[in-house]
């Protein structure tokens, strides 16, 4: 297994994000329609399509550059709360990654933590508020634990994704305290937070891209649909 992930992995991750968001677009729309504006799936789909279009003409040479490209594109192309939140997450991750040509497990954990902290700073949410933070914080904690015990990048991202998926499911019974869903009060319980759901999809895409990496650090295959 690769001990570092380079720009090839980051680019593959972003392309996988576009594929998985497109595949779950309707599901995310329905989740958001229940407790929000109903545009989460459409906005993210448009945003990640724009990211892949940008990657067709501008190929980043480091993971940090790939994250910055995603951040700038999402913030300019995605409406609602998703653009600024995901854009900030990728921008903070880019800053954490810096100009490093590849990221090892501790650097990946740090990038995920920086991304989560960016979302917290932008959205002013915390764990239990029924937002994407309920997926991101378990992922960050799982990543840190994996890095501490010497896990590979693929193992770290796999565990982070699994924790994010569990965190998203855990939003089902919560009463929203932030965002448009909070206007519903108790009626927001019984519905999964769409941002937590999309966060879990995006982090699973990162893990799948890492699992496809050959020992040299570049993707062994293309993104899955």
User: DSSP string of 144-188?
Assistant: HHHHHTT--HHHHHHHHHHHHHHHHHTTTTPPP-SSGGGGGGGGG
Tokens of 30: 């329905």
Q: How far apart are CA 39 and CA 97, in angstroms?
A: 31
Comparing CA positions, the residue from 134, 138, 110 lying closest to residue 123 is 134
Residue 187: per-residue pLDDT:
61
Residue 120 Cα distances to 86, 126, 216, angstroms: 11, 7, 35
Residue 175: per-residue pLDDT:
66
Average pLDDT along the chain, 225 residues, taken 10 residues at a time: 91 98 95 80 95 96 98 89 92 98 98 97 83 96 98 97 97 72 63 91 98 67 41
Question: What are the boundaries of each domain within the chain?
Answer: 5-211
Q: How far apart are CA 165 and CA 179, in angstroms?
A: 21
Residue 219: per-residue pLDDT:
64
Residue 70: per-residue pLDDT:
98
Q: How far apart are CA 167 and CA 201, in angstroms?
A: 12
pTM (predicted TM-score): 0.91
Neighbours of 211 (CB within 10 A): 16
Residue 128: per-residue pLDDT:
74
Instruction: Tell me which fold the domain 5-211 belongs to.
Output: 1.25.40
């Amino acid at each position: 297994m690769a001990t570092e992930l380079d720009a090839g992995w980051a680019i593959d991750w972003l392309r996988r994000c576009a594929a998985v968001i497109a595949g779950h677009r309707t599901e995310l729309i329905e989740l958001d329609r229940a407790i929000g504006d109903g545009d989460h799936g459409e906005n993210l789909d448009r945003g990640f399509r724009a990211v892949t279009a940008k990657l067709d003409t501008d190929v980043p040479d480091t993971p940090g550059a790939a994250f910055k490209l995603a951040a700038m594109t999402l913030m300019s192309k995605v409406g609602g709360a998703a653009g600024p939140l995901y854009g900030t997450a990728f921008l903070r991750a880019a800053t954490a990654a810096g100009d490093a040509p590849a990221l090892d497990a501790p650097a990946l954990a740090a990038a995920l933590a920086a991304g989560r902290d960016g979302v917290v700073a932008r959205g002013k949410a915390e764990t239990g508020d029924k937002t994407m933070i309920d997926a991101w914080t378990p992922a960050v904690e799982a990543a840190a634990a994996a890095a501490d015990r010497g896990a590979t990048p693929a193992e770290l991202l796999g565990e982070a994704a699994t924790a994010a998926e569990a965190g998203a499911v855990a939003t089902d019974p919560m009463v929203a305290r932030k965002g448009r869903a909070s206007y519903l009060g108790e009626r927001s319980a019984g519905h999964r937070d769409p941002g937590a759901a999309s966060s879990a999809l995006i982090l699973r895409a990162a893990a799948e891209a890492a699992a496809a990496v050959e020992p040299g650090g570049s993707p062994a295959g293309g993104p899955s649909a």
